[in-house]
Structure 1
Amino acid sequence: MTPQQRKYLIELTNASSIETIWATHADKMAAYGFDRLLYGFTRYRTQTSLGDPNDFVLLTNHKTSYTDVFIGDGLYHHAPMVRWALEHEGACSWRVLGEMLQQNNLTDAERRVVEFNLGQKVTAGYSISFKSVSSRAKGAIALTARPGMLQDEVDALWDEHGDDIVLMNNILHLKILTLPYTPPNQSLTKRQREALEWVGDGKTMQDIATIMGLTQATIEKHLRLAREALNVDTTAQAVAKAAFQNQMFVIDI
């Protein structure tokens, strides 16, 4: 490992926000020729779904003209490399897409995804599917090579630097899991978060009201608004979801 790589990993592990870590990582991957990244993580995977997209951790530096269609219009549901990531762990060259096409191993919907990507100059790269410790959790990142770069060039680069790139992305993924991430419209106020924290500690409504110096009715209001913000039905679900998103017991910096 080079001194520059060590410095990068130290910066990565010391980062205090997802915004900081993502900007640092995007610059590092661009230095290897991967100028567009798409990271996704869900804790709500089932046998038939990745869960509600509003609950995904999604990070990207693709243009909105790409993400509005690929994510917003649900094209990712039929993306061949998403299918690969769900079925495998580790790194995979996008060379397999050409092999799938030659073997006629793509559905019509998957072919449309490939055609869309070609139109957006998403033509060469690698995908990394991270190891999961839960059947409901899955994370992966797509590394898109800069326009004009051929897959042969990407594969040659990977032969030389692939292990380092996988290591850096694995550490990125593990670090992201420790940082607060708030999906759109799911942020909690300080009072809502505090009330959920006390519920998580097993306190009763009366206990929480006494601790926070508020009435029980006000505590119940904070919890109701927290449930609405997190789009869940019960306070127990709100506690679990806020914990998953690292919105609870956060140190304000």
Structure 2
Amino acid sequence: MSITDYLHFVSGAKTLEELWHTHVLKMADYGFDRLIYGYTRFKTENSLGDPDDFVILTNHSQDYINGFLHQGMYRHAPMLDWAIENEGARSWEWNQKMYAEGMLTPKAEQVLAFNQKMHMTAGYTISFFSASKRYKGAISLGGKIGAEQAELDKVWDEHGEDIILMNNVVHLKILTLPYEPPNRSLTSRQLEALEWVGDGKTTQDIALLMGLTSATVEKHLRLARISLSVETTAQAVLKAALQNQMYVVET
């Protein structure tokens, strides 16, 4: 698939599943076959937000996911630290340079040791531009097992600009697609009630529009707040909207 054909596919993708599957295959053409994409809309000065609110896409093994993500090693990953403070692309050679200069914390060194064990030693990280300080997205492009960084650097010298372009377009596409975090699904009734709230309707209005009692509408809104782990209905509307769960056209 040419880059033009690929970008046409990305622009027309309807689901995260089809988008991610094809992107993984495309990056493998360049020698990057283990990917982690991460995005948060709830970043603060001291936190990336609740991990349950992250958009995470990856094709890594479960062993790697358990260590790097579920056990929280990502919080101390040198390349993630770099991505949070920067934009653009960086070779993982930076890891070794920081290590050689004694610039890494003990926990960051543990991450490097874990990556060494899992054969994640060569690759690139792309940090995406965001117009909001609350938003941050990045993707880790891990080279195939046995690949040397110098080998990937040569690939990047020839195709780096195209790879950055494709990943940026995929990132922008992901922002438009619905994403339902694990264990935070909303029922169709809960979503409908939130959509009416977003349209400025009162509980009494919504009850009439949905053919329900006001008490039942309040129940749907309360359960939506619980599912989204927020305190107010306004926060629920905002979070559901940010996750592109509201006003979605059925595919």
TM-score range (shorter-chain normalised) is over 0.9
Partners of 2:221 and 2:183 in 1: how far apart? Answer: 16
Which residue does 2:91 correspond to in 1?
93
The aligned counterpart of 2:176 is 178
Pick from 72, 79, 82 the counterpart of residue 81 of structure 1: 79
For 1:144, the equivalent position in structure 2 comes to: 142
Instruction: Name the CA distance, whole Å, in 2 between partners of 1:250 and 1:97.
Output: 41
Partner residue in 1 for 2:61: 63
Query: 1:212 aligned to 2:182?
Result: no
Instruction: Quote the sequence identity (%).
Output: 59
Q: Structure 1 residue 190: deviation in Å?
A: 0.7
Q: Which residue of 2 aligns with 1:38?
A: 36
Q: 1:200 aligns with which of 195, 198, 201?
A: 198
Which residue is equivalent to 2:248? 250
Q: Which runs of 5+ in 2 are unaligned?
A: none
Matched, 1:109 2:107: yes
Encode CA deviations 1:163-216: one digit per residue, 9 max, x unaligned.
000000000000000000000011111110000000000000010011111110
Amino acid at match of 2:59: N
Q: Which residue of 2 aligns with 1:191?
A: 189
Could you list the structure 1 runs, at least 4 aligned residues long, displaced by more than 2 angstroms after superposition. Answer: none
Q: CA RMSD in A?
A: 0.7
Partner SS, residue 174 of structure 1: helix
Q: Which residue of 2 aligns with 1:167?
A: 165
Return the alpha-carbon distance in structure 1 between the equivalents of residues 102 and 50 of structure 2.
31
Deviation at 1:57, TM superposition (A): 0.2
Give the Cα–Cα distance (whole angstroms) in 2 for the partners of residues 45 and 211 of structure 1.
Answer: 36
Q: Tell me the distance in 2 between the aligned counterparts of 1:69 and 1:147.
A: 18
SS at match of 1:134: coil
Partner of 1:231: 229
Following superposition, the deviation at residue 149 of structure 1 comes to 0.6
User: Aligned partner of 2:154: which letter?
Assistant: A
Q: Give, as a single letter, the amino acid of the residue that structure 2 aligns with 1:137.
A: Y
Cα deviation for residue 98 of structure 1 reads: 1.2
Once residues 31 and 79 of structure 2 are traced to their aligned partners in structure 1, the CA distance between those partners, rounded to angstroms, is 19
State the distance in 1 between where 2:140 and 2:67 align.
16
Provide the C-alpha distance between the structure 2 equivalents of 1:85 and 1:177, rounded to a whole number of angstroms.
18
Please list the CA deviations of residues 108-156 of structure 1 after superposition, one character each: whole Å capped at 9, or x if unmatched.
0100000000000001000000001101110000000001110000000
TM superposition shift of 1:252: 1.2
Q: How many residues align?
A: 251
Give the Å deviation of 1:73.
Answer: 0.5
Counterpart selection for 1:156 from 154, 157, 168: 154
Tell me the CA shift for residue 37 of structure 1.
Answer: 0.2
Separation of aligned partners in 2, 1:230 and 1:243? 11
Q: CA deviation at 1:85?
A: 0.1
Whichever residue aligns with residue 245 of structure 2, its letter is Q
- Please give the alpha-carbon distance, in whole angstroms, between the structure 2 residues aligned to 1:128 and 1:119: 23
AA aligned to 2:131 is V
Q: How much has 1:50 moved relative to structure 2?
A: 0.5
How far apart, in 1, do the equivalents of 2:67 and 2:94 lie? Answer: 23
